[in-house]
Structure 1
Amino acid sequence: MMKALVKEAPEAGFTLLAKPIPQLPVDGVRIRVLATSICGTDLHIYNWDAWAASKVTTPLTVGHEFCGEVIEVGEKVTRFEAGDYVAAESHIFCDQCRPCRAGQRHICENEKIIGVQRDGAFAEQIVMPERCIWRTPADLPPEIATLQEPLGNSVHATLAGEVSRRHVMVTGCGPTGLFAVAIAKTCGAASVMAVDVQQYRLNLATELGADQVLNPLECDVVAEIQTATEGRGADVVLEMSGNEK
């Protein structure tokens, strides 16, 4: 048996339970979880809002951002062995549908997200398909290694278009937005302008390389950006707040 944090019923809250250790398929990798991180998705599921009710079937072990140590591999696994330090894709793709065959596994037609549509990583162990595992540098601390999944989302979004030599505006400086600030700056943006209503987050954006930080409760963001870009405005806008307003 192992400990796991479970959404036990369609209501607010999680429950710490003892659950059977998951079975290992021939293409599976058994991982001892070393660290996890909390995503906004986990908060939706914890609070059991309309989104969670439409996506999650209980009972379910939650959590999808993690890193860990391989402790056992299935007989068809060739790229990993016990002792490897790894992180994982949260999206389990089939590798058989048309998008997967075209290299667009992130829009797999049969996708299952761990901690949402199948048991996740807020547990002592998790079993993942070999195709969804990534080897992690040994000198990367677990509390940082667990953030590779959300970092990957920000990399994908930020680099969907050209940012080099462009003026980039990032709205929303939560973890995903802050990652985007650092990525855009690293990839040669002419300037990075970060927008948020919390000074704490704007301070973090500055630490990560933002050239200008703007609080819409305190200034006219459009006017400030027009001034900073000689009237041209932002070339690239990354909306990372999720705020419908």
Structure 2
Amino acid sequence: MRTMRAQVLTEPNHFELKEVPVPEINDDEVLVKVKYCGICGSDWGSYIGKYADEVACIPLTTGHEVYGVIEEVGKSAQGLKVGDRVTYDICKPCGTCYHCRIGEPLLCTEFKQIGIHLDGGFAEYVKVPWKNIYVVPDEVSDEKAAFVEPLTACLNASHKMDCTIGRSVVVIGAGLGIMHAQLAKLRGAAPVIVVDANADRLKMAKEVVADYTINVRETDPVEEVMRLTNGVGADFVLEAVGSSKTYEQAFKMVRKGGKVEAFGICAEDDYASLPPVEFVTSEKKISGSCAGIGYDWGDALTLLKYDRVDPMPLISMIVPLEELEETLHEIKKNPKLIKVLVSPEAKERTVLYE
């Protein structure tokens, strides 16, 4: 029996590096050798036991931002071969519930995701349904390929927000928010404004995409957005922090008839206070988006292939699989770290951007 190294979440707040069996695939699956698995902000929630449906899956190998190479191919797989550079749609909706049948698979009542509810990529290998696989174009580097999953989530939010050319967009949060801002600019939004409390991240946002940045430690973000939009308010505001306070700010800075796109995940007991009268008299709108699914992966790879977006400034460093738990704590303490890639093949850390 072949074994592999895997970081197994055995209980909340505890990963254990174990030798476990390499997953056995069926005819409809492929085995992927993991090259990189990015650490997502939601991985911290999984780690601390924040989400009840995920705690129910423990023990579990988490990790859902995977790029790798096909190691084995099931008999039913089509158009795939050993050695292909790949990433994959992490979503496994049931396909038969009400939401699936009306075209809302992200809202599936039996929704599962690889690396969140099913064993994932903080390991040397992961098994995946072959139909979920997307081959990575040669033009896309290994590091950029590891960013496809978070880019799909941003794409889904971009589709839902549906900002139009020449309209103002505010992004609250300068982590993954920088990618949201890149997509808004790609759609022709103007100006693009990024809000955060960290000067280093705001500097990066300004260098990469933002027309204006707002440091909430230095000025009131609502007042500054109103000033930059000549007292009208922003046409669109995307919240990418996950805090009741910033959601309340988003609702205040969006213009009459404007739209707030909810992306940041709050704690289940964290409630924002929004005046219902403004839904009526000001016709303000809110929509939500939680993840990418399906051909969001193909679109993300196309954008990367043709250099329409650049995730590289967001990738802070690469760490060995053995350092996963330590790195999770580092990310919480060090706001300069945005995206960290975990590599089962790495022997030591590689710092890309400081």
TM, length-normalised to structure 2 = 0.65
Q: Deviations over 1:34-92 (max 9, x none)?
A: 1111011222233x24x245522221111111111112111111132212111112222
Instruction: Answer yes or no: is 1:60 the counterpart of 2:60.
Output: yes
- Most deviating of 18-27 and 217-226: 217-226
For 1:1-50, what per-residue CA distance to the aligned partner results, in whole angstroms no more than 9, with x for missing partners? 01111102x2312111111011111110111111111011222233x24x
State the partner residue of 1:146: 146
Question: Cα distance, 1:109 vs. partner?
Answer: 2.7
Supply the AA of the counterpart residue of 2:5: K
**What secondary structure does 2:189 align onto?**
coil
Matches within 5 A, 1:181-220: 181-220=181-220
In structure 1, the residue corresponding to 2:35 is in which secondary structure?
strand
User: Distance between the aligned counterparts of 1:63 and 1:118, measured in 2?
Assistant: 10
Partner of 1:14: 15
SS at match of 1:140: coil
Query: Does the CA-based 8 Å contact 1:181-1:208 persist in structure 2?
Result: no
Aligned counterpart, 2:160: 160
Shift of 1:125: 0.7
CA contact (8 A) 1:5 1:14 kept: yes
| Correspondence for 1:44 | 45
Once residues 82 and 127 of structure 2 are traced to their aligned partners in structure 1, the CA distance between those partners, rounded to angstroms, is 13
- CA 1:138–1:96: 2 relative to 1, 3 Å: farther
When residues 55 and 239 of structure 1 are mapped into structure 2, their CA distance, relative to the original with a 3 A threshold, is same
CA distance in structure 1 between the partners assigned to 2:225 and 2:104 by the alignment: 35
- Preserved contact between residue 46 and residue 54 of structure 2 (Cα < 8 Å): no
* 1:116-167 Cα distance to aligned partner (Å, 9 max, x none): 2111111111110122221211232222211110111011112213322210
Partner of 1:227: 227
SS in 2 for 1:60: coil
Please identify, of 76-85 and 194-203, the stretch whose mean Cα deviation from structure 2 is larger.
76-85
Counterpart of 2:34? 33
Give 2:63's aligned amino acid.
G
Going from structure 1 to structure 2, the CA distance change for 1:107 and 1:130 (only over 3 Å counts) comes to: farther
The residue type paired with residue 159 of structure 2 is L
Write the distance in 1 (CA, Å) between the matches of 2:106 and 2:85. 23
Q: How many Å separate the matches in 2 of 1:158 and 1:199?
A: 25
- Cα distance in 1 between the residues matched to 2:18 and 2:85: 26
Q: Distance in 2 between matches of 1:201 and 1:132?
A: 34
Matched residue SS, 2:31: strand
Give the letter for the 1:12 counterpart. Answer: N
- Whether the 8 Å CA contact 1:158–1:238 is kept in 2: the answer is no
What residue number does 2:121 align with? 121
| Count of equivalent residues | 241
Cross-structure match for 2:312 = none
> Do structure 1's residue 78 and structure 2's residue 78 form an aligned pair?
yes
1:93-123 Cα offsets, whole Å, 9 max, x none, are: 2334343344333223322112221111111
Aligned residue type for 1:238: L
- Number of the residue aligned with 2:134: 134
Distance apart, 1:212 and its partner CA: 0.7
Task: With the length of structure 1 as denominator, give the TM-score of the two structures.
Answer: 0.92
Q: Which moved more, 1:97-106 or 1:143-152?
A: 97-106
Distance 1:178 1:203 in 2: 11
Structure 1 residues 59 and 162, CA, compared in 2 at 3 Å: closer, same or farther? closer
Structure 1 portions without partners, runs of 5+: none
User: What residue is the counterpart of 1:239 in the other structure?
Assistant: 239
2:175 maps to a residue whose letter is G
Task: Tell me how large the CA RMSD over aligned residues is.
Answer: 1.6
Q: Secondary structure at the match of 1:232?
A: coil
Identity of aligned residues (%): 37
Residues 176-207 of structure 1, C-alpha deviations (whole Å, 9 max, x = no match) = x1110111011100211100000111112112
The SS at the match of 1:94 is coil
For 1:21 and 1:190, the matched residues in 2 are separated by 49
Secondary structure at 1:169 match in 2:
strand
Q: What is the aligned partner in structure 2 of residue 3 from structure 1?
A: 5
Question: Residues 36 and 143 of structure 1 are in contact (CA less than 8 Å); yes or no, is this contact kept in structure 2?
Answer: no
Distance 1:74 1:234 in 2: 50
